[in-house]
Structure 1
Amino acid sequence: MTFRPKKMRMLEWFPDAVISTRGPHSAKALYLTFDDGPNPAHTPALLELLKQHGAKATFFLIGREAERHPSLVWRIVEDGHSLGNHSYTHPQFHALSHREQWHEVQRTDQVLHGFDGRRHHRFRPPRGVFSPALALRFALNRRNLAYWSYDTLDYQGRKPEELAARLRAEPPRAGDVMLMHDDSDCSRHMLEELLPEWKQNGFTFPALPA
């Protein structure tokens, strides 16, 4: 198990204009990102934890879920976090045509526009799957695919305390974009332990720039 899989290290060679894996090189900044929300069972408690520690994050939302739970999206925005695009239905992207993939992106941008007024949002493909054609289309539209540099593995069904211990053993570095998820309480329980420690070590937690 590794938090920095070989695929992520390879993606770091791409220009940020095409695929971004790390955040701006601010002094001791970690970029917390959460996929698959909003989720009424988990998002409110996560937002409370972030507020408690003065941390901002980027929420890569599923468009359909944002439509179902608009009050949660408003709260994310009002708390100063950034919205990201994680497709409209979170499908198996490799099974879609290019046209269907682009429709998933555009439909979610339209949904999120109603909350933050932005026409385009950082896009993170479901499960990190994308085609060369999609990457090219993003590049031609002067947009990039938003990846991550540090995978917390919070989706593997392991206990949060086990993952927290492993994160301490292989700690993140300044500028890392942390992949987490907002469809369970695993990431929240990890952060309950780790955020105070990271703050004590001088880290700050800004949202990714728009």
Structure 2
Amino acid sequence: MLFIKSKAITFFISGILFISLCLAVFNFGAHPYFQNWKKEKVLITEVKTEKKAVSLTFDDGPDPINTPVVLDNLKKHNAKATFFVMGSRAEKYPDILKRIASEGHEIGNHSYSHVDFNHKDNKFLLNEIERTNAIIYQITRQKPSLFRPPGGYLSYALVELTKDKDITIAYWTYKQDSKDWRGVRANQIANHIIKNIEPGQIIILHDGTPNGLETAKAVDILVEKLSNDGYEFVTMSELIRIGNEE
């Protein structure tokens, strides 16, 4: 009887593990394969480097009000960044996308529609990625190699799909999520990032939310402070290159 119960428990646990591998995981790092994907470098959260280099990344744009202010503040301090744009917004605001590219920033893919990927089939996921890549290329001639899934969605199917397309999943450094989209003030956003700064980090921010102007102001504050402390702000692909060289 004990043996039967033990087998039943083992089967139940195995079933739960299988389900977790198939479905999305929204808690940072909670997917069972998360660490393996990091080791394989198909998913990036930071890089190992002694160089004082970090990457600012911006999600959910381009936005006609917020993104130009972010760009102004980056230009003011000669800082580079990576913008993870939505295909639908890139179509709507092509001139802003062109400006991002012309000022030396990197453009990454943040899906076309930013819908919940959970329970979507591979055909849908692939269309969201490829449609956005095509729009970005048509407007800027940049070919995105980085994809940041909306909401941090992760599944085995998504990772295999991006691997087949030679696309890296661009996550972020856990302690460098200031939750700027929640309506916090610029000083709070900047102070969170400054307090937790370390070389090789990928910092997540949002230029496409209603709180985007506070984020833009925070960029001015934090880039000035950290630049004075010797930090360099580079695109995410450049940060990955720096990490690979060490």
User: TM > 0.5 between the two?
Assistant: yes
Residue 229 of structure 2 aligns to which amino acid in structure 1? N
Q: What TM-score does the superposition give when structure 2 sets the normalisation length?
A: 0.76
- Separation in 2, partners of 1:171, 1:12: 22
Task: Measure how far apart 1:178 and its partner are.
Answer: 0.3
Paired position in structure 1 for 2:235: 207
Change (3 A) 1:191 1:16: farther
- The residue correspondences of 1:61-210 to structure 2 (distance < 5 A) are 61-149=85-173, 150-168=176-194, 170-183=195-208, 184-209=212-237
What TM-score, normalized to structure 1? 0.89
Give the SS at the match of 1:83. strand
Amino acid paired to 2:163: A
Q: Which runs of 5+ in 2 are unaligned?
A: 1-26, 239-246
Deviations along 1:65-114, one digit per CA (max 9) or x if unpaired, are 00111100110000000000000011111142221011100100101111
CA contact (8 A) 2:112 2:128 kept: yes
Evaluate the alpha carbon distance shift between residue 159 and residue 44 of structure 1 in structure 2; reply closer, same or farther with a 3 A threshold: same
Is the contact made by 2:74 and 2:220 (CA closer than 8 Å) also made in structure 1? no
Please give the secondary structure, in 2, of the residue aligned with 1:113. helix
Unaligned runs of 5+ in 1: 1-5
1:94 and 1:141 mapped to 2: Cα distance? Answer: 20
In 1, Cα distance between equivalents of 2:123 and 2:206: 27
Number of residue-to-residue matches in the alignment? 204
Is the 1:35–1:182 contact (alpha carbons within 8 Å) kept by the matching residues of 2? yes
Name which structure has the greater RCO, CA cutoff 8 Å, separation 6+: 1
Change (3 A) 1:167 1:120: closer
Question: 1:29 matched to which residue of 2?
Answer: 53
Question: What one-letter code is carried by the residue in structure 2 that aligns with 1:44?
Answer: P
Following TM superposition, by how much is the alpha carbon of 1:167 offset from its aligned partner in structure 2, in angstroms?
A: 3.2
Q: Contact 1:16/1:144 (CA < 8 Å) preserved in 2?
A: no
Q: Over aligned residue pairs, what C-alpha RMSD do you find?
A: 2.1
CA contact (8 A) 2:189 2:215 kept: no
* Pairing partner for 1:7 from 3, 24, 28: 28
Name the structure with the higher helix share: 2
8 Å contact from structure 1 (residues 23, 208) kept in 2: no
Give the % identical residues: 31
SS at 2:215 equivalent: helix
**Larger of the two Rg values belongs to structure:** 2
